[in-house]
Amino acid sequence: MQYFRNIVYWNKLNSNNQKKILLRPILKTNYSIKNTVQKIIEDVKNKGDKALKKYSLLLDKYQDDTFQVLQENISRSSSDISRELKEAIVTAKNNITCFHEAQKPLKIDIETQIGVRCQQIHLPLNSIGIYIPSGIAPLFSTVLMLAIPAQIAGCKKIILCSPPPISKEVLYAAYICGIKKIFQIGGAQAIAALAFGTETIPKVDKIFGPGNTYVTEAKLQVSSIFNGPAIDMLAGPSELLVIADHFANPDFIAADLLSQAEHGISSQVILLTPSEDLAQRVIISINEQLKKLTRLSEILIALKHSTIIITEDLLQCAKISNIYAPEHLIIQTKSPRKILDYIFNASSIFLGSWSPESAGDYASGTNHVLPTYGKSLTNSALGLADFQKRVLVQELTSQGLINLSNTLEILSSAEKLEGHKNAVKVRIDFLKEKYNG
């Protein structure tokens, strides 16, 4: 049975159809979800732990006097998982640490002119919340992606929330990252608790981590409230675009496309290639590999809004990719770095036949928290900078102020801000009196 056979020829489409073929699956606005989340947020904000216990029992069928995971249970996770998995997690941790350590910013400390010293320093966010969703599988890799840069940045307080029961894999990842405050609470109620604080869960300054539609909606709502927390980003469905030429391995491409399609029914995968022969071989391979995968029903839905596009050449592939601005971009061509020179919009890029997207998801070292839904046009992958804030420092000597004063007075007068001008003038008058008196 042939499950997938979507091929289109880019140059045979009119401009409207070209736009349509690159549309993401529609994310419908659900007012019921909005209202439900709003009610949960207000409840948690006003009633604290009492509301958390209510929603935990109602939504997660979990009842306990305390949400916090005991330190002994966090430590015990080390003996609860296999040595093989522990070694793999440690390898991933080491690579992620290496890459994010390298992101430490250079200090800027310069004299813009004699007597005028300007600096840029980076300070850690004081407190952050990490949300780790549950579901089909424990996302312990996301613990590493969020906790490691937070630790390197120097964040003083790191709070982790995840729906009960938290898996031993998530606990172990948190354990080796030094996270001590872990709470078994999930959904919109966890986001509300992190945003406003309760008797048990501390308020944080910024919330990180993916989640379902309720979690995403909760992040949007709390970040829109005055004095509410900042958030990392609003995560959308996973997406992958592959650029390939006739040198590419069709089985590798098929496997990469399917690896992202299995994320969920709203995921989208696209292949761009000037080679019709390669496209046909990829289709054959997709339909063969589908027989071996377990999440067939979800993958087939994702494939309905996925496609293979035949282009004129590789340069056109790059142009189309820049329009789409994918979350993940794989370039499987004879000379992938030549194509890289023409890519301007992508969140995370994988070059060559031996760089599956799975490497970035887990252990190459780059971060897998990425902008989706075309946000790569302006936004970046999560990194060390997201856990820090830039602070500007300036220091003028008396002579430096004298040298700059005329410029400052002219500019402030031009903007009709006499108070600004006066703040300079009173100092200059003082200096004149001091030196002339």
Condensed to tens digits (0 to 9), the pLDDT of residues 97-142 reads 999 999 999 999 999 999 999 999 999 999 999 999 987 777 999 9
**pLDDT confidence of 1, banded at 50, 70, 90?**
low
Q: Percent of the chain at pLDDT above 90?
A: 89
Residues with catalytic function: 327-328
Q: Which residue has the higher pLDDT, 28 or 23?
A: 23
- Residue 280 reports pLDDT greater than 60: yes
- Residue 166 reports pLDDT greater than 70: yes
Q: How far apart are the first and last CA of the chain?
A: 98
pLDDT tens string 174-215? 999 999 999 999 999 999 999 999 999 999 999 999 999 999
Question: What value does the mean pLDDT of the chain take?
Answer: 95
Preceding peptide of 229 cis, ω within 30°:
no
- 397-436: which CATH number, 2.40.160.60, 3.10.129.10, 1.20.5.1300, 1.10.260.40? 1.20.5.1300
- Residue 91 reports pLDDT greater than 90: yes
The reply to whether domains 7-24+236-365 and 397-436 share a CATH topology is no
Domain locations in the chain as residue ranges: 7-24+236-365, 31-233, 397-436
Instruction: Check residue 4 and give its pLDDT.
Output: 74
The residues, ordered by sequence, that sit 6+ positions from 165 with a Cβ below 8 Å of its Cβ are: 62, 184
- Bridge partners of residue 181, in order along the sequence: 159
| Binding-site annotation: residue ranges for Zn(2+) | 260, 263, 361, 420
Q: How far apart are CA 209 and CA 369, in angstroms?
A: 8
**pLDDT confidence of 294, banded at 50, 70, 90?**
confident
pLDDT tens string 136-149? 777 999 999 999 99
How are the residues of the chain apportioned to helix, strand and coil, as percentages rounded to the nearest 5? 50, 15, 35
Instruction: Check residue 295 and give its pLDDT.
Output: 84
**pLDDT confidence of 436, banded at 50, 70, 90?**
confident
What kind of fold does domain 31-233 have according to CATH?
Rossmann fold (3.40.50)
* CATH code of the domain made up of 7-24+236-365: 3.40.50.1980
| Binding-site annotation: residue ranges | 131, 189, 212, 238, 260, 263, 328, 361, 415, 420
The dihedral over CA atoms of 31, 34, 40, 44, expressed in degrees to the nearest 10, equals -150
